[in-house]
Amino acid sequence: MRAEAMSGTSLLYNLRFRAILYQVIAVAGIVLLGLYLFSNVSQKLAEQNIATGFGYLSREAGFVISQTLIDYKPTDTYGRAILAGIVNTVWVSAWSVVLATVIGLFVGIARLSRNPLLAFLAFLYVEALRNVPLLLYLFLWYALIVTGLPGVREAWEVMPHVFLSNSGLTVPSLVWSGAHTTVLLALVLGGILAVVFHRRATAERIRTGQARTMWPWIALAVLLPPALALLIAQPDLAVDLPEKGRFRLTGGAQLRPEFTALLVGLALSASAGIAEIVRSGILSVRKGQWEAARALGLRDGSTMRLVVLPQALRVIIPPLTSSYLSLFKNSSLAIAIGYPDLVMVSNTTMNQTGQAIEGIAIFMLVYLGLSIMISVFMNWYNSRVALKER
Amino acid sequence: MTTATDMAEAQVEMPLQREPGVERRLLRRTLKPLIGTPVNAVVTLACLWILWLAVKGAWGWLVTRAVTEGGAQACKVGHGACWPFYEAKLRFMIFGVYPYDEHWRVLLAMVLFLGAMAVTMIPRFWSRRLIALWAVTIVATAVLIGGGVRGLPHVPTTQWSGLPLSFLLSAVGLALGFPLGLVLALARSSKLPAIRVIAIVFIEVIRGVPLISILFMASVMLPLFMPSGITVDKLLRAQIAIIIFAAAYIAEAVRGGLQAIPRGQHEAASAMGLHYWQAMRLVVLPQALKIAIPPLVNISIGFFQDTTLVTIIGLLDFLSTVRTAMTDPNWVGIAVLEGYVFAAFVFLVFSYGMGAYSRFLERRLRLGHD
């Protein structure tokens, strides 16, 4: 009797038993909560006569998407509409990342300039962008484009055949054909060749200790494949010139105001954050490194490229990853100004089908998946630049 | 050491070096960074030109070209800032659709709230008495805004709007997100695998999706998850979304602090006979939270700005009331910039103030460590 009570209490005071007990309670709690919510949902859905499942993805969508990169017409399926939304999201995010990185790099270096006026201007730029919500800027840029620029009929011809109006920027475009794709592929091939060549030459130089002039060979590696492709495929150089008709502009490629406002808004906001990241990265490299490089006889440019930047990148990459990720997630604000990204297309789909759970699940999974992909890529890059300790 | 730029510098400085004198030296020290080298001189000129354009544009819009009298028609003709718009719409932009005669209540609540914030921000007042101060402030603001007691007319949440709503959403989001975030951070650094996995999945899923998708979830899906017959207020649903979102980010900031505490502290605490919760409460958390304060302030600034997203699910926050004022039939198409400029100014003042405070705090905490 007494022994039994003893073992009962000692079991409760056994650390391993308690650890297991806590975990069982936590998991059971979550499972029960999930079951409870699931039963509520099924009851509600049955009451409101809402269909479930992803069958609707293969039904005809029937709504117009104002701008798509892939071919899409209202007679296509919901699945294709959502795919068009995903492509639009990735498209605007990718361009914004490039633009934000370039601007952020320059502003970040300008913040550290010895010229006080330039440093002050860069400071104003960063603070003005960081302290005002992105959504407000999106509305503002959109309003400026739509109300500040003339209508299509009075479109402003900035350069011959380049029109600026409140329906966006219209520029001449190439009539794309298979031959163009060949040339583009050849250009990519040339780039890869040049990188391989450069690597080989560097390895050779390190092995033998003798530097040879490499740039003519690299230039040749870049230029030769596209030149050959040009000669063989002979792409048509037909250009689609936009013309001002009586009511609208015809021809050419158009940069819509929604896209432009979103691109500018995302890129500028992110560039302010990136500028601060670049600044703190460069500041993290000690002054002695500059002095040592100079003592070795390196010029300013080489010091930056060979000594400071590789060390600064270690500090820069992790926060840069999170600012790319937040830019990508912020592209979902597109819905506020009517750029048809994933969220906006999903929203239209949900309104038409009533299947909110599936719609939200799809876009959350897509965001989650793409976020994970971005962070995996950036972690891989980070491990390349990280300090190699023996 | 003598590079080409140094040579150029020396050449430019030559005329100044001839007559050494106090004024000359002072002048040289000011001018050298500005026009030390030819490139620098060009940069300086370009900066001056940009500044001149910005100041001229802003001054012209705000003052010389501004329309100060007349109504919407006068603004339609003019090209500057429309002051009559501000005169007519300022109260609506700040207080939204809150009953006009009761505006003093929200104003008083905001003054109380900002006063309590100001007191909290001064390190000299950091003590347990702050908890009492906040308890009083929260009760007082809730009574003032909601009403329904002591002759104050009841104001339903559908009429809570404008700047007070933005403050409310971010303050409550952070205040309730903090304890939840703390628990999540502890769970994530726990030794128990099941609990750690649950915390990791929760935090990473929330951080991997945009806030707007969580707001959508709260506004569209949450009603489906509730048992029949129970409806959750629209404002409350958005608030729950913001709390959950804030908790995930706060958890990561706190975890950063926890990771900075060396193992020795945990081991010393258990050697003293403290159990897990005692060790956390008395030894580890006080140190970890101190380290986590600067990132937590940055998260707060971000959240104050992020509450504008509730505009998209149809709540009348500050940005939303400003936009409503701009699309008023009397003013639509006339006050295109005015509303946004005002809203941007308000956000700039509060966010920059918080940012400056965060930098001050960081300096102070660093001094405390050395």
Q: Are residues A282 and A377 in the same domain?
A: yes
ipTM: 0.84
Q: Do B192 and A44 touch (CB under 8 A)?
A: no
Q: Are residues B214 and B129 in the same domain?
A: yes
Q: Tally Cβ neighbours within 10 Å of residue A311.
A: 17
> Would you call B44 an interface residue with chain A, using a CB distance cutoff of 8 Å?
yes
Question: What CATH number is given to the structural domain containing B200?
Answer: 1.10.3720.10
Best residue of A15, A17, A23 to probe chain B, by most B CBs closer than 10 Å: A23
The model's pLDDT over A29-46, given as tens digits with 9 standing for 90+, comes to 989 998 888 888 888 878
CA distance B188 to B96: 41
Best residue of A136, A145, A344 to probe chain B, by most B CBs closer than 10 Å: A136
In this structure, what token pair is assigned to residue B83?
């002051």
Using a CB-CB distance cutoff of 8 angstroms, which residues of chain B are in contact with residue A41?
224-225
B249 vs A47 pLDDT, higher one: B249
| Within-domain flag for B60 | yes
pLDDT over threshold 60, residue A379: yes
CA distance A107 to A120: 11
The closest CB to that of A43, out of B216, B223, B228, belongs to: B228
> Would you call B57 an interface residue with chain A, using a CB distance cutoff of 8 Å?
no
| Within-domain flag for B123 | yes
Q: Do A343 and B212 touch (CB under 8 A)?
A: yes
pLDDT, residue A389, reads 56
CA distance A100 to A107: 10
> Would you call B337 an interface residue with chain A, using a CB distance cutoff of 8 Å?
yes
Q: Report residue A102's pLDDT band, with 50, 70 and 90 as the boundaries.
A: very high
Q: Report residue A387's pLDDT band, with 50, 70 and 90 as the boundaries.
A: low
Question: What CATH number is given to the structural domain containing A357?
Answer: 1.10.3720.10
pLDDT, residue A181, reads 82
pLDDT, residue B4, reads 47
Q: Do A40 and B226 touch (CB under 8 A)?
A: yes
Instruction: Kindly identify which residue of chain A lies nearest to residue B228, measuring between CA atoms.
Output: A44
Domains: count for chain A: 2
Among the listed residues A331, A334, A345, A337, the one whose alpha carbon sits nearest the alpha carbon of residue A145: A337
The model's pLDDT over B178-224, given as tens digits with 9 standing for 90+, comes to 999 999 999 988 888 888 899 988 988 898 899 999 998 888 888 88
The model's pLDDT over B42-52, given as tens digits with 9 standing for 90+, comes to 888 888 999 99
The closest CB to that of A136, out of B217, B319, B336, belongs to: B319
Q: Are residues A267 and A380 in the same domain?
A: yes
Q: Are residues A31 and A102 in the same domain?
A: no
pLDDT, residue B39, reads 78
Mean pLDDT of chain A: 83
Q: Are residues A378 and A301 in the same domain?
A: yes
pLDDT, residue B363, reads 82
**Structural contact between residues B82 and B102, judged by C-beta atoms closer than 8 angstroms:** no
> Would you call B276 an interface residue with chain A, using a CB distance cutoff of 8 Å?
no
| Within-domain flag for B235 | yes
The model's pLDDT over B15-42, given as tens digits with 9 standing for 90+, comes to 444 555 777 777 777 777 777 777 788 8
> Would you call A18 an interface residue with chain B, using a CB distance cutoff of 8 Å?
no
Q: Are residues A95 and A35 in the same domain?
A: no
Q: Are residues A27 and A93 in the same domain?
A: no
- Domain of residue B24 covers 4-64
Restricting to B residues 218-237, those with a Cβ less than 8 Å away from any Cβ of A are 220-221, 223-228
pLDDT, residue B11, reads 45
In this structure, what token pair is assigned to residue B339?
């509303």
Q: Report residue A54's pLDDT band, with 50, 70 and 90 as the boundaries.
A: confident
Q: Are residues A93 and A41 in the same domain?
A: no
Dihedral of CA A159/A161/A162/A166: which sign? Answer: positive
Among the listed residues A359, A356, A322, the one whose alpha carbon sits nearest the alpha carbon of residue A342: A359
- Contact partners, residue A23, CB within 8 Å, separation at least 6: B192, B193, B194, B195
| Within-domain flag for A381 | yes
pLDDT, residue B107, reads 87
pLDDT, residue B227, reads 76
**B120: buried, middle or exposed (CB in 10 Å: 19+, 13-18, 0-12)?**
middle
Q: Are residues A310 and A358 in the same domain?
A: yes
pLDDT, residue B8, reads 45
- Contact partners, residue A131, CB within 8 Å, separation at least 6: B301, B305, B347, B348, B351, B352, B355
The model's pLDDT over B232-283, given as tens digits with 9 standing for 90+, comes to 788 889 999 999 999 999 998 898 888 888 888 888 998 998 888 888 888 8
- Domain of residue A337 covers 78-144+254-385
Strands A243-244 and A253-255: unpaired
| Within-domain flag for A380 | yes
> Would you call A200 an interface residue with chain B, using a CB distance cutoff of 8 Å?
no
pLDDT, residue B122, reads 82
The model's pLDDT over A207-217, given as tens digits with 9 standing for 90+, comes to 887 777 777 88
Q: Do B305 and A133 touch (CB under 8 A)?
A: yes
Percent of chain B predicted with pLDDT > 70: 93
| Within-domain flag for A70 | no
Using a CB-CB distance cutoff of 8 angstroms, which residues of chain B are in contact with residue A43?
227-228
B5 vs B170 pLDDT, higher one: B170
The closest CB to that of A360, out of B50, B221, B301, belongs to: B221
Restricting to A residues 153-172, those with a Cβ less than 8 Å away from any Cβ of B are none
Mean pLDDT of chain B: 82
pLDDT, residue A331, reads 92
The closest CB to that of B319, out of A22, A27, A135, belongs to: A135
Mean pLDDT of A75-88: 88
The model's pLDDT over B334-364, given as tens digits with 9 standing for 90+, comes to 777 888 989 999 999 999 988 888 888 888 8
pLDDT over threshold 50, residue A61: yes
pLDDT, residue A9, reads 63
pLDDT over threshold 80, residue A371: yes
**Structural contact between residues B254 and B181, judged by C-beta atoms closer than 8 angstroms:** yes
pLDDT, residue A246, reads 65
Percent of chain B predicted with pLDDT > 90: 15
What's the gap in Å between the CA of A180 and the closest CA on chain B?
38
Lowest mean pLDDT among A136-140, B16-20, B58-62: B16-20
pLDDT over threshold 60, residue A14: yes
Q: Are residues B132 and B229 in the same domain?
A: yes
- B64, B79, B110 - which closes a domain: B64
Q: Are residues B26 and B148 in the same domain?
A: no
What spatial distance separates the first Cα and last Cα of chain A, rounded to whole Å?
A: 62
Mean pLDDT of B57-86: 79
Q: Are residues B160 and B37 in the same domain?
A: no
| Within-domain flag for B84 | no
Q: Are residues A8 and A138 in the same domain?
A: no
Chain centre distance of CA A186: 26
CA distance A328 to B32: 43
- Which of left, alpha, beta for A234 (phi over 0: left; psi -120 to 50: alpha)? left
**Structural contact between residues A258 and A238, judged by C-beta atoms closer than 8 angstroms:** no
pLDDT, residue B1, reads 40
CA distance A106 to A190: 29
Instruction: Kindly identify which residue of chain A lies nearest to residue B44, measuring between CA atoms.
Output: A117
Domains: count for chain B: 2
| Within-domain flag for A121 | yes
A341 vs A240 pLDDT, higher one: A341
Best residue of B42, B216, B244 to probe chain A, by most A CBs closer than 10 Å: B216
The closest CB to that of A135, out of B1, B34, B311, belongs to: B311
**Structural contact between residues A176 and A215, judged by C-beta atoms closer than 8 angstroms:** no
Q: Do A143 and B337 touch (CB under 8 A)?
A: yes
| Within-domain flag for A369 | yes
> Would you call A280 an interface residue with chain B, using a CB distance cutoff of 8 Å?
no
| Within-domain flag for A239 | no
Residues making up chain B, counted from first to last = 370
Q: Are residues B104 and B253 in the same domain?
A: yes
Q: Count how many Cα atoms sit within 13 Å of the Cα of residue A371 in the half-sphere of its side chain.
A: 23
Q: How many helices (H) and strands (E) does chain A have?
A: 14, 8
**Structural contact between residues A145 and A261, judged by C-beta atoms closer than 8 angstroms:** yes
Q: Do A115 and B47 touch (CB under 8 A)?
A: yes
Among the listed residues A340, A217, A324, A205, the one whose alpha carbon sits nearest the alpha carbon of residue A266: A324
pLDDT, residue A8, reads 56
CA distance B235 to B169: 9
| Within-domain flag for A367 | yes
Q: Are residues B52 and B193 in the same domain?
A: no
Lowest mean pLDDT among A78-92, A204-218, B158-172, B212-226: A204-218
